[in-house]
Structure 1
Amino acid sequence: MESIQYYIYLIPALASFAIIALASSLIAKLFNRYKLPLVTGYLVTGIITGPYILSLISTELIEKIRFIDEISLGFIAFAAGSELYLKELRSRLKNIGIISLSLVSIVPIIGTVGVLLLADYIPFMQNLDLASRTAVAILAGTILVARSPSSAIAIINELRAKGSFTQTVLGVTMIIDVSVVILFAISSSIAISLINKTSFGFGFLAIILVGIISSILLGILIAKIISFILGLKIKDYLKIISIMALGYAAFLVSIELRNFSHNNLAYEILLEPLLIAMVAGFWMTNFTKYRIDFSHLVKLGGPFVYIAFFTLTGAALHLDVLKDTWLIALAIFLLRLVAIVIASFFGGVLAKEPAKYNHIRWAAFITQAGVGLGLAKEVAVEYPAWGEEFATLLISVIVLSELVGPPLFKWAILKSGESNTKATHAEFDGNNDAVIFGLERQSNILARHLQDHGWNVQIACLKSSLPEISKELSSNDLDIIDLDAIDFSSLDRLELEHVDAAICMLSDDENYEIAKLIYKKYGIDNIIVRLNDGKNIKKFHEIGVTTVDPSTATVNLLSEFVRSPSATSLLLGQSENQDIVEIEVGDKTLQGVALRDLKLPLDVLILSIRRKGQKLLVTHGYTKLELGDKVTVVGSLEGLKEVSLKLGQSKLE
């Protein structure tokens, strides 16, 4: 009868929480607009809707849907384990291992000692005896080690960071996220022993070892089951539900085994459910053929899990406790910061990393999220006497880390010089300017062709690699500039901030170096490279460069003439009195004006609009113009001149 009443209450409880979770996802997007993490938005929504403010989520409801925490924690651990891909870390595994060991050793020691010294100022620790205080401090020190792989990956992708510093930081983050779960399993066993006043000895160590080995073996077993599920021809959502169920099963097995051993054996067998799930994720990524499939499912289900978990976590925060301990939370945050600075510097020195990296690496390890929150919540479940207050304090530290960490990580990557973000280009000045890198007959012909279409053209060439033909070409009236080297100081002479197109006609290595520098500092949208080897096309496309392969260009052109002779003739300027041009919108009064409201000549047609690097292939009368749009127009030469003036461009291309 009680179970029926439970389910009668549970259904509307889940429905109401689902509505709040939906609102949480929308509110978090607002936070993201201001460069704040989505996790912060979920937590804030949970806090506002929780029992201490709006009471939309009551304390009773939180207790009833506690299983959502355990399902989410299992899934988050699967995701964390799947991020540790050994093949990607092999090249720097030694340095990653040394720095990870330094952090895993130093941070928990400093954290434990610091929390123990602050015990008299933490309300829920004031009445505990020394053994229990030590247990709390050990658990806190362990959780302070945790990192956030998801936040690290998001920032690395955002900055397009690549290099030894980035690779080492990411590897350390992955290793630590796995190590902290093993460390927590050991710390939890020690904490229980301290609280229960049981002695330390060989038997105690054997029990800890049995628990860890059993957790690892169970994780491998779950990975085998997941492999079987992924091999089935069923919908993705059913596979995701099955993975969530297996994560939840790890918690149920852990609880049941602990209760059974407590009641029937002389000692408790403690399995670590997060370690079980993390090992399963690690095994799926490194030792099965389903690495990509598993990663896809984790990414697919992740957003839903994070919304539910972090919203519920925010609602469960004891604001009454936080009101009295926010200064302590700040002190622990600063203590953690100092510990990370010391550990990361010491580890870098031992690993013989460059000094410039050792001074900034600490900034990459501040962010915390999923696993740290998961461990804090697990303490809340395992130690009901003071667990909720403990979780509130540690979650406050994690929230601070989540707010401060990402900007610091961005700063570290920028300082390391491994960021590859595109610079912002200056606004169009009304003139079409181009720079051609490389002095030869083709570049000479191209320069004159562009000049005939109203472009201002410079030709840049390296002094050290001027061909014999340069003497003949340099005597003409073209603007030719000799560069000492391919670097920012040389490129600055070309005033590239006002250039609209860059054409690279040197070797592939030189072309790539020039394109990369232009991408990072000057932000020119239109970079064209003449390829020498088709194998290099991928690296150019990664930084948004348009490539022309001479070995296939002629064949492609002939093919276009066969399939669409009129359009190709028009494109190549072979149609008498007609052309295709791209005009940049420079008239501010046209902002927001629909194409249908423009008074255009009857003999012109707008084909497409390129906006902020994206192409609107299909335009219609209701498409609205924005300042800086690149509008592709076809028509008569007179009509094109009229459209050019109307859109605010003084010269026609």
Structure 2
Amino acid sequence: MGALDLEVLSTLGLAVLAGLAGAALFRRLRMPQVVGYIVIGLVIGRSGLRLVDGAAQETLEPFNMFALGIIGFLVGGELHADIFRKYGKQFVAILLGEGLLAFALVGVPCGLLVYLITGDMMVSVSSGVVFGAIASATDPASTMDVLWEYRAAGALTTAIIAIVALDDALAMTLYGLGTGVARILTRHGGSIWPQVVHTVVELGGAVVLGVAAGWGLSRGIRAGVQKDRTLALTLAVLMLAVGISLTLKLDVVLAAMATGVTLIHLVPHRSRELFHAVRAFSAPVYILFFVLVGARLGLAAMPLWIWALAAVYVIARSIGKMAGAWLGGTLSGAEPVVRNGLGSAIFAQGGVAVGLSIMAGHHLSGIPLGNGMNVGDMIIFTVTATTLIVQLVGPPVTRWAVQRADETGRNVTEEDVMDAMTVADVMNTDMEPLPSHVPLRRAYDLFAETDASACPVIGRNGNLEGLMTFHGLKEALCEPGCLDWLLIGDVAGAADTTVESGRNLGEALHEMDQMQRDIVPVVLSRGDEMPAGLLERGRARRRVREELMRRRGGTATR
């Protein structure tokens, strides 16, 4: 194994461990975990301790593209056709409002500031156009990570997911047109049409590739691929789609998104569990992705005026996103919670913007600004600085927006609820235990006067001896007069299985399902023989469903 292999492996291990530590720290500070990942990346990367060097980051670049592919795939899985049939006009209006207004409000002041620095009108106009186009992009990765971390669901969350999915296509379109204009103005190109054609091919080709990948994946699922191999098949298809996108220079996120959208509509029921498995698999992928994002940000070489340009960019972009989302939502009749909160929730900027800045830097690198810097360098440095700012501020703002809309903690399943509850939360404590040494009539009277289906049985010392069920009582009644001469202990079933009151409810119900038990006695702790209640499967399931509805209704405790 070569030195570079060891370096890459150590980088992966260091990034994951450091990212986990950063996430834990920032959760204690009541901030989204993604901020912790990025800050840790800054500490160990180019702007800090330099524990992750440029060679390792360059080697891991394909991994970053794969991470973007997973993010796009999961976002696509959230985009159902019925949502767009119901809210399509609102989403288009909001998308155009926030994207175009951010484009205009960033392009004009940034162009003016570049003119004050350079004194060249053509350079300032072209720079403003490119900055405006890049400003329209929203980072789906950190935005979705916040929504998933806080289990957000509701009208605002639905709008956020749709807009971050569509923002990519709008940003790519504006960028293609913007760089075309910039190259014409700076005499590096004679026509805008090649850029238009390139953008159409890049977006359209990504959609076609994603639809084909989703169709192929759905065929594999329908063909009966074993359940434990479906995840492997999905990851293989995603890797193939990402690799083809990079080779053909198509949009990676859009291709992966189209794969997810296609799959969720072709096999809606069978793919839900698959999306859940991919999300569970993606945890270390997310950590590595965001830590490496922070590690790549080099801040030491930036001149002071770049930070001034970045400040203008961030302020103008924020105003454009919020005002544009409000305007689009108002004109399309969106709910108040959507038009008032969406602009704040799409504040983040990430990989797409950085990627576009690098492309712009390559196209405009031949235009000098002085002091060894060119227009391409200026764009890359500025977007890097703005990405640092909005990635640190954006996730907390997204969390604030969905919390203000009262949409956190709603995207939960029955399994999530059971994992958060214990046996003590649902056990039946209403029944007093039946002594084993008294006549059976005592049990008969109990079941006749209540709707109980079982009751714990105790000995003279108060310890659990068995379980008296209504079914067992019915079988004993075949003997005339048995109620007075049979004892409860003669009829009760043995208490061969118990569960502790502090046990995780999901685990306890799973064991009951495996043992095919509907009712199990509950004790306070292992080794304790005093009954604390009964765990009844039907009752527990009803309580779980009630809690699920309560949480989805927005009244759950946060």
TM-score, normalised to structure 2's length?
0.64
Partner residue, 1:508: none
Contact residue 607 and residue 632 of structure 1 kept, 8 A? no
Q: Which of 339, 352, 355 is equivalent to 2:320?
A: 339
Contact residue 321 and residue 389 of structure 1 kept, 8 A? no
- d(CA) in 1 for partners of 2:41, 2:383: 16
The answer as to 2:265 corresponding to 1:286 is yes
- d(CA) in 1 for partners of 2:408, 2:450: 32
Q: Which of 381, 391, 410 is equivalent to 1:402?
A: 391
Residue type of the alignment partner of 1:280? T
Structure 1: which 5+ residue stretches go unaligned?
1-6, 256-270, 423-536, 571-604, 624-630, 635-653
Contact residue 80 and residue 177 of structure 1 kept, 8 A? no
- d(CA) in 1 for partners of 2:169, 2:180: 18
Q: Which structure shows the bigger proportion of residues in helix conformation?
A: 2
The answer as to 2:501 corresponding to 1:608 is yes
Contact residue 110 and residue 312 of structure 2 kept, 8 A? no
- d(CA) in 2 for partners of 1:378, 1:393: 14
- d(CA) in 2 for partners of 1:168, 1:153: 12
1:336 Cα deviation after fit? 0.9
- d(CA) in 2 for partners of 1:376, 1:294: 35
Partner residue, 2:133: 142
- The C-alpha deviation readout for 1:228-264, integer Å capped at 9, x for no partner, is 5656446356335424522441344225xxxxxxxxx
Partner residue, 2:280: 300
- The C-alpha deviation readout for 1:419-441, integer Å capped at 9, x for no partner, is 4779xxxxxxxxxxxxxxxxxxx
The answer as to 2:277 corresponding to 1:277 is no
Residue type of the alignment partner of 1:367? A
What root-mean-square deviation, in Å, do the aligned CA atoms of Structure 1 and Structure 2 show? 4.9
Partner residue, 2:454: 560
Deviates more, 1:406-415 or 1:340-349: 406-415
Partner residue, 1:33: 28
The answer as to 2:24 corresponding to 1:43 is no
Give the alignment of 1:428-467 within 5 angstroms: none
Q: 1:181 to 1:34 in 2, by over 3 A?
A: farther
Contact residue 41 and residue 295 of structure 2 kept, 8 A? yes
- d(CA) in 2 for partners of 1:543, 1:92: 33
- d(CA) in 2 for partners of 1:306, 1:218: 24
SS in 2 for 1:319: coil
Partner residue, 2:295: 315
Partner residue, 1:222: 213
1:334 Cα deviation after fit? 1.0
- d(CA) in 2 for partners of 1:165, 1:105: 21
Q: 1:223 to 1:188 in 2, by over 3 A?
A: farther
TM-score, normalised to structure 1's length?
0.56
Partner residue, 2:548: none
- d(CA) in 2 for partners of 1:632, 1:189: 77
Residue type of the alignment partner of 1:27? A
1:343 Cα deviation after fit? 0.9
- d(CA) in 2 for partners of 1:382, 1:67: 22
Q: 1:60 to 1:384 in 2, by over 3 A?
A: farther
Partner residue, 2:11: 17
SS in 1 for 2:301: helix
Greater length-normalized contact order (CA 8 Å, ≥ 6 residues apart) = 2
1:186 Cα deviation after fit? 4.8
Contact residue 142 and residue 180 of structure 1 kept, 8 A? yes
Contact residue 36 and residue 403 of structure 1 kept, 8 A? no
The answer as to 2:177 corresponding to 1:198 is no
- The C-alpha deviation readout for 1:511-538, integer Å capped at 9, x for no partner, is xxxxxxxxxxxxxxxxxxxxxxxxxx99
Structure 2: which 5+ residue stretches go unaligned?
367-374, 429-446, 459-463, 470-497, 510-521, 534-558
Q: Identity of counterpart residues, as a percentage?
A: 21
SS in 1 for 2:30: coil
Residue type of the alignment partner of 1:213? G
1:318 Cα deviation after fit? 1.8
- d(CA) in 2 for partners of 1:612, 1:71: 36
Residue type of the alignment partner of 2:343? W
